[in-house]
Amino acid sequence: MIYTKKEVDLIVADSLNGLNYTNKKLLLASQNAENFDRERYAKALQKALGESAFNKTLATFSDETYRKKLLQELDKRGIVCVTYKSTNYPELLKNTPTPPLVLYARGNLKLLEGELFAIVGSRKTIAAAYEECKKISRELSEKFVIVTGVADGADSAAAYGALDSGNVVCVLPGGHDSNCSTNVKVLREVEEKGLTISEFPFGQPARKYTYFLRNRIIAGLCKGVLVVSAAEKSGALNTASYAADYSREVFAFPYSPGITSGEGCNNLIKNGAYLCDCANDIFSVFGYEGKAEAAQSLDKDERIVLTLLKEEGETHLETIAEKIGKQLFEVNAVCAMLEIKGLIVRTGGNKYSAL
């Protein structure tokens, strides 16, 4: 990969240890600003770091062998850097208050040029929401590039839904190759078919606070955020609040009362988020023509069971059998068929729920 001088400066500055975001910016300014200002920035940095650290930092920064080694290592790991000064740096992210200086990316870089939409949620997501999320993600990925995290639960559902089209970007809470994901399977598949990006240099492990930093990138990259599931206190709500700060559209799944993993979503809707239960809700906000759902051909029994599930909500197999007056094993077959058709989902404990 070939970078311009300015890009390399950014990559090197970002790689230095012991510098925070402000100091990195000062360092860059002290090297690249107009003659008159350089002194001032250098002084400010010196004051912030102290004499010896400042000198050491400057020495490393301008060390040619260090730079060469760093770029070689990035190339070897297949990581491409998109810097703040690069032409392909996402425009929306650039306009946020604290855009990352460098985005480390692995996979299909073209995806960053598309229209991005985020789907986030908590690790604990009930089966019905999980399947719904997968479905919506699949539909949305035809127009949008889906941005999500790499955790279990809703994040994985969003990623799996969008994987077929390849329009999926995962933003990592730690550097690449740092075991920052509990769902390694989804991470590998996204690296292969989509794109993974991170603000952190490779190998830097995820910490509690890096998840919050990561959330600002998810919100900043996208035109809108869909919150699939969130308890009263949840990381997904953090993403949503960033999205609101950046004036992005926020969508949330509605939940019936009493489901812990949905309280946060309901609160969002109370506070003015869009209620969303199908892909068209999102398409219409952005002025896209949604596709009408292709009607599936159902036989009589399947229709009866589906109607029942839609009316009653989550229902036990035995209850269904009792209500429609059929043998249990017959109902079992009908439900399996409906599940295969993607119209209902098994929610655990031999219960089914309509989507």
Partner 1 sequence: MLSKVTSYALVGLEGVPVEVETDINKGAVKYELVGLPDTAVKESRERVYSAIKNSSLRFPVNKITVNLAPADIKKEGSQYDLPIAVSLLIASGQLDADVEGTVLLGELALDGALRPVTGILPIIIAAKGKGFKKFIVPFGNANEASYIEGIEVYALKSLRDTYALLSGIENFKPLEMRSFEAAKSRSNYDCDLKYVRGQAVAKRALEIAVAGGHNILLSGPPGTGKTMLARCIPTIMPDMTFDEALEVTNILSVSGELNEDGIMALRPFRTPHHTATTVSLCGGGTNKIRAGEISKAHRGVLFLDELPEYSRSALEALRQPLEDGKITVTRVGGAITFPADFILCASMNPCPCGNLGSAERHCTCTPMQIRRYRAKISGPLLDRIDLQVEVDSVKYEELASDREEECSALVKKRVERARAIQRERFMGEDGITVNADMGEKQIKAFCALSPDSEKILRSAFERLSLSARARSRIIKVARTIADLDLSEKIMPKHVLEATSYRNFDSTKER
Interface residues toward partner 1, by CB under 8 A: 123-124, 127, 130, 152-153, 156, 160, 182, 185, 260, 316-318, 321, 328-330, 332-337, 339-342, 346-351
Q: How far is CA 306 from CA 254, 292, 333, 343, in A?
A: 20, 19, 13, 8
Minimal distance in Å, beta carbon 182 to partner 1?
A: 5
For partner 1, the closer of residues 124 and 193 by Cβ is: 124
* β-bridge partners, 250: 225
For partner 1, the closer of residues 133 and 140 by Cβ is: 133
Paired tokens of 73: 């290592």
Distance of CA 318 to the CA centre of its chain: 39
Minimal distance in Å, beta carbon 73 to partner 1?
A: 31
Minimal distance in Å, beta carbon 338 to partner 1?
A: 10
Nearest to residue 145, comparing CAs of 82, 223, 71, 69?
Answer: 223
11: amino acid identity, one letter:
I
Minimal distance in Å, beta carbon 348 to partner 1?
A: 3
Q: Characterise 342 by phi-psi region: left (phi > 0), alpha (psi -120 to 50), beta (else).
A: left
For partner 1, the closer of residues 59 and 328 by Cβ is: 328
For partner 1, the closer of residues 130 and 144 by Cβ is: 130
For partner 1, the closer of residues 56 and 124 by Cβ is: 124
For partner 1, the closer of residues 294 and 340 by Cβ is: 340
Minimal distance in Å, beta carbon 224 to partner 1?
A: 25
Strand ranges (DSSP E) for the chain? 80-83, 102-107, 116-120, 145-148, 168-171, 195-198, 224-227, 249-252, 274-275, 315-316, 344-348, 351-354
Nearest to residue 218, comparing CAs of 321, 307, 103, 302?
Answer: 103
Minimal distance in Å, beta carbon 161 to partner 1?
A: 12
Quote the CA–CA distance of 83 and 9 in Å, as a whole number: 10
Minimal distance in Å, beta carbon 294 to partner 1?
A: 15
For 184, list phi and psi in degrees, rounded to 5. -65, -30
How big is the chain, counted in residues? Answer: 355
For partner 1, the closer of residues 182 and 271 by Cβ is: 182
Quote the CA–CA distance of 107 and 163 in Å, as a whole number: 13
